[in-house]
Chain A
Amino acid sequence: MAYNTAIFQGNFTSTAANVFIPLRGGVDWFEVWNQSLYATPVNSTGYYYRWQKGMPNGQGLYEAFTAAAPAVTVGQLAANTGFFYQDTSTVTYTFSPASNIAVTAGAGATVTWVAHGLAAGDIIRFANLPAAVQPLAAIDWVVSTITDADNFVIPTAASNVGVGATAGASLIKISRESLYVPQDRVITAIASTANAQISFAAPHGFQVGQEIRINVNSITNPAVASYLKATYGASPSLNPVAIVKSVVSSVAITINLDLSAMPAFAFPLTASVPFTPSQATPIGIDTATALSSNVNILSDATNNIGQIGMLLVGGSAISPAGGTAGNQMFWQAGVSFSVNNAF
């Protein structure tokens, strides 16, 4: 019995965004058909794609309709527009060239970096920032929204850093953060309200009912740290535990603690560098809250999110994940008995 060859298949509906197909068995070749385009050809769109081991990662081959469908043409997908074989248990880095990066102040700071090539949801790190915006460094930030090809937004809070621009600063895009979730999160803001809202620098992944410990830096926010320990700490020196009350967004939650009397929380400024950012650390779940909110009581369980599979790039008329939302895509992938590549 040959158990070292396998064929996998499936389908999905395109959203015009990237699609990841997990294939734990590995993959030596991958094909995609756009059934919707076979049924109704559309000018200048790709209907068939193929990749096999030996082709550059991120590329592949395509067949497409010409500007006068149903006449067809063939070609090689441009770099970074095709198939990416990925093992997400290892982190990969995409380095920006040292460039002029400008950051505006305020909530939802805009970062200007010409031709950034990023997408919403990407995780980035800054390096070599000017003094005014150095507090943003050494923290993983999510790209909240893409304004245009040269500008994007990160989820800073209103009290965050000033304006800064410099030549020589750089960005690193990382393929993923922790291998395990839930993970600890950097806090960018804590609202002094009842059922206080906490905002984070990257997607938190918390669910209602989960318990988190709020670790506020007692050097950069001494009044806040003292208030929290004194009011809600299990002991005067222990940081308090809160229960997630609601999920506001991917980067914000509300908690069960009334912080309306808490002094204002401030994200550290340049004078505080170097510093430890305040964090929320997941510690478990309050089963009673989870049950009453109809949330899975095991949602706090440690989970290894590592995957092996194929990332199909989407978003253009010729892309293996489909360029038009709603297109029906069929795929087939396989592991070969042997791979004999001469180049």
Chain B
Amino acid sequence: MAITTTSLLPAPVQQSFSQKLLSVPVPYMIHKTAAMKKTMPRNGGTTLRMRRYNPLQTAMVPLGNTGVTPPAQVLTAVDIDATIQFYGTYIQLNEQVTLQNQDPVLNEAAARLGVSLRQTEDQLTRDMLAGTAAAINCVNGGNGDNPTEMAAQDISNVIATLLNNNAYTITDNIDGDNKFATTPVRDAYFAMANARLSGDLEAVNNFVPKAQYPFPTAALPSEWGAVRNLRFLLSSIGSFQANASMNGANVYNVFCTGQEAYACIEQDGYSATFIYRPPIYDGPLALNASVGYKFAEVPRITNDAWIINMRCTSNTNIF
């Protein structure tokens, strides 16, 4: 009996396309979370100048009864400047791509460009903090490196430094609740770190994972947990310096910040723009479309005493 198999009668079209596209990995964008938002005015030049007055001395000595006027204090200020810079990128698509591809290429291009834009903004802020923030090396870990891995005392040292510098915490207390294995969370500064430190954080004394918050919905999606008055946000694009430790290991920069420590300044009249130019703009035969973005921004530390770069190595191995 003759059997007709696919060898004799193959499918005329061998493959089908799955219309639901696969997920694209997108990192958590954490570095602008605690930033002040400022705006450079249109027609205001290239540089935003910010000013902070310096504290005055206290007047601890009584005036007495002589009627003599004491000497005046001098009021001084520090000016802090940030120059706007412009960024952008684009994709060019031949018309045949959008004509013949089964998936919505332009839609996906827009989505990818959106991620590229936000990630660029995040990484610019990250790199500014890495180069400009005052640093404290972790020294209380036990791995024999310089800096060591993070330990509870290192975190306490950073918290004490921020408190003594009169940095205000960013988040309020998360009050306790009658839920098993949860614990209240203190008012806290934010710490922005690389995701490779997740294992090291778990090993720190008094680490409270997000799952043990009384109200986990009060936590940010990128939040990993808290140690005392420091709540940790982790991202795969968190800052680190390769081969920078005494033993040649990576050094991770953990930016511990209070309120109003740094700002991201945008240009008024030039907010992030998505630009689509259909093929008609390309030339006599209208062959290529382009899609891109541009924006103008500059990050700047506005008070160096309210942000600390806690530098550490890691005991966690990833493959």
Contacts and interface: CB of A to CB of B under 8 A. Distances in A.
Contacts of A298: 47, 49, 81, 83
A104 to B, nearest CB: 20
Contact of A138 (B49, B55, B136, B244): B244
Contacts of B54: 234
B128 A276 contact: no
Contact of B80 (A1, A125, A279, A283): A283
Given A128-B247, A274-B246, A302 B79 contact: no
Contact of B136 (A183, A213, A276, A297): A276
A178 B303 CA distance: 19
B107 interface: no
B291 interface: no
Contact of A284 (B80, B131, B251): B80
Interface in A122-138: 125, 127-129, 134, 137-138
B146 A134 contact: yes
B162 to A, nearest CB: 11
Interface string A223-247: 0000000000011011101000000
B124 A304 contact: yes
A180 B132 contact: yes
Interface in B227-256: 242-248, 251
B46 to A, nearest CB: 9
A274 B78 contact: no
A281 interface: yes
A180 B246 contact: no
B304 A125 contact: no
Interface in A290-329: 297-298, 300-304
Nearest to B92: A4
Contact of B282 (A1, A91, A213, A302): A1
Contacts of A172: 243, 248
Contact of A125 (B128, B139, B244): B244
Contacts, number: 146
Given A184-B131, A184-B134, A184-B135, A1 B283 contact: yes
Nearest to A179: B127
B124 to A, nearest CB: 7
A213 B134 CA distance: 9
The range of chain A's interface size is: 35 or more
A264 interface: no
B128 A274 contact: no
Given A274-B148, A275-B146, A237 B165 contact: yes
Contacts of A1: 282-283
A285 interface: yes
Contacts of B80: 283-285, 300
Contacts of A134: 146, 246
B137 A301 contact: no
B166 to A, nearest CB: 8
B79 A297 contact: yes
B307 to A, nearest CB: 10
B300 interface: yes
Contacts of B159: none
Interface string A151-176: 00000000000000000001010000
B55 A302 contact: no
Contacts of A343: none
Contact of A93 (B83, B148, B242): B242
Nearest to A286: B78
Contacts of B166: 235
Interface in B101-121: none
A119 interface: no
Contacts of A60: none
A285 B81 CA distance: 8
A282 interface: yes
Given A301-B83, A302-B298, A279 B134 contact: yes
A2 to B, nearest CB: 7
Contacts of A297: 79
Interface string B60-102: 0000000000000000101111110100000010000000000
A177 interface: yes
Contacts of B92: 4
B310 to A, nearest CB: 10
A178 B131 contact: yes
Contacts of B147: 138, 274, 276
Given A125-B244, A213-B304, A281 B134 contact: yes
A21 B199 CA distance: 44
Given A180-B132, A274-B146, A127 B79 contact: no
B83 A182 contact: no
A215 interface: yes
A136 to B, nearest CB: 9
A127 B135 CA distance: 20
A183 B133 CA distance: 8
Contacts of A277: 137
Nearest to B139: A274
A285 B243 contact: no
Given A128-B247, A138-B246, A284 B81 contact: yes
A276 B139 contact: yes
Interface of A: 1-2, 4, 91, 93, 95, 125, 127-129, 134, 137-138, 140, 170, 172, 177-184, 211, 213, 215, 234-235, 237-239, 241, 273-277, 279, 281-287, 297-298, 300-304
18 contacts: A1-B283, A93-B243, A125-B243, A128-B247, A180-B127, A180-B131, A180-B132, A183-B132, A215-B134, A273-B246, A275-B139, A277-B137, A283-B304, A284-B81, A285-B78, A285-B80, A298-B49, A301-B82
Given A281-B132, A304-B124, 12 more contacts: A93-B243, A127-B248, A128-B247, A177-B131, A179-B130, A180-B132, A213-B134, A284-B52, A284-B80, A285-B79, A301-B83, A302-B83
Q: Which 4 A-B pairs have the closest CB atoms?
A: A178-B131, A127-B248, A274-B146, A301-B81
